[in-house]
Amino acid sequence: MSNISAQLVKELRERSGAGMMECKKALVENHGDIEIAMEWLRKSGLAKADKKAGRVAAEGRIVAAQAGGKAVLVEVNCETDFVTKNPDFVKFSDTVADVALKSGAADIDTLKAAAYPGASNVEEAAKALIATIGEKIDVRRVARVESDGTIGSYIHGGRIGVLVALKGGSEELAKGIAMHVAAMNPPYVKAEDVPADFIAKEKEIALAAMSDKEKAKPAEILEKIVAGKINKIVSEVTLVGQPYVLDTNVTVGDALKKEGADVAAVVRLAVGEGIEKVQEDYLAEVAKAMQV
């Protein structure tokens, strides 16, 4: 049967998460019956799991797990956004986070080798999920925080996850600062964390941007002007210097000081960061492939 429409392939692709050409073949083999084609894909998916290793998996979920003074963030990737809502994928990623927490895994290789309920390890469980879903599944990153103080976690839409460990302070404050980090993504925590070369470059830019009238001022006045500009920039790029998203009348530093707290650790993961993802017209891609 050759008269398989691009729309039908697209529908099977969205339902199964399988590859486009696999969907076309499944429909051809099963005379365009999408239900039987769906079953055919599930039965044949495991043998093709390794072939999916070269695909780009830039979607996915960030999941947190926390108990006592330990917390983890795990990034589990898939190829398409709709798979992130698949119940099997959600259950898998939640379980991986729980495994990461309980196993003590602090790096991705250790996590992939860790025991997984019903499978020999996390990596084998991921391969089994590929058979069901039909997309590349990649347990990509794990971040771990352990502290005698307070740990706050925050997940935004499943795509951004933050852990914040405080010395002192309340759980409410730790979670609030985690929300701030999710929203603002400050590159540094405190002024002393800002690299010297960054400061030097900003001074150079500040001086170059001055008017001739400003440059004509006495050296000590000029230095104060530049210092003021640099301090403002440093506040903008540091967590403690930024206006607190839950109360913009104060800075994060002010909120910490009010509770006698200090930041011990900050971890932020966002789905797919650092992965190059090709943007394509999906329906056009399907139609083009149908002509092959």
CA distance 174 to 166: 7
pLDDT at 146: 96
Q: Cα angle at 119 between 114 and 123, to 5 degrees? A: 50
pLDDT at 47: 33
Tell whether the model's pLDDT for residue 283 goes beyond 60: no
DSSP 116: B
pLDDT (average), residues 69-87: 94
Backbone phi, psi, residue 249, to 5°: -75, -15
Starting at the earlier edge strand, list the strands of the sheet with 138-146: 59-67, 70-78, 138-146
CA distance 163 to 152: 6
CA distance 175 to 251: 16
So where are the chain's domains?
A: 6-55+278-290, 57-146, 149-188+245-273, 195-237
pLDDT at 105: 96
pLDDT at 135: 86
What mean pLDDT, rounded, does the chain reach?
Answer: 87
Question: What proportion of the chain, given as a percentage, has pLDDT over 90?
Answer: 58
Confidence of residue 257 (pLDDT cuts 50, 70, 90): very high
Q: Across the strands, what pairs with 74?
A: 63, 142
Domain 6-55+278-290 in CATH 3.30.565.10? The answer is: no
User: For 120-151, what is each residue's pLDDT tens digit?
Assistant: 999 999 999 988 888 889 999 999 999 999 99
Q: Among positive and negative, which fits the CA dihedral 23, 25, 31, 35? A: negative
Domains 57-146 and 149-188+245-273 in one fold:
yes
Backbone phi, psi, residue 158, to 5°: 75, 0
Q: Cα angle at 274 between 271 and 278, to 5 degrees? A: 85
- Give the relative orientation of helices 6-16 and 20-29 as an angle to the nearest 10 degrees: 110
Confidence of residue 292 (pLDDT cuts 50, 70, 90): very low
pLDDT (average), residues 280-284: 54
Tell whether the model's pLDDT for residue 3 goes beyond 80: no
pLDDT at 23: 80
Question: Given 3.30.70.260, 3.40.50.720, 3.30.70.520, 3.30.479.20, which CATH number is that of 57-146?
Answer: 3.30.479.20
> Which segments within 68-183 are labelled E, that is strand?
70-78, 138-146, 150-156, 160-167
CA distance 290 to 21: 8
CA distance 159 to 156: 6
Q: Which two tokens stand for residue 133?
A: 């879903």
For tokens 């891609």, name the residue.
285
User: For 183-213, what is each residue's pLDDT tens digit?
Assistant: 999 999 999 999 999 999 888 888 888 888 8
Q: Among positive and negative, which fits the CA dihedral 269, 275, 279, 280? A: negative
User: For 7-66, what is each residue's pLDDT tens digit?
Assistant: 888 887 766 666 677 788 888 888 888 888 877 776 665 334 444 555 656 799 999 999
pLDDT: which is higher, 17 or 253: 253
Fold of 149-188+245-273: Tetrahydropterin Synthase; Chain A (3.30.479)
> Which segments within the chain are labelled E, that is strand?
59-67, 70-78, 138-146, 150-156, 160-167, 243-244, 247-251, 262-270
Task: Look at the chain and count its residues.
Answer: 292
Q: Cα angle at 241 between 239 and 246, to 5 degrees? A: 70
Whether pTM > 0.85 for this model: the answer is no
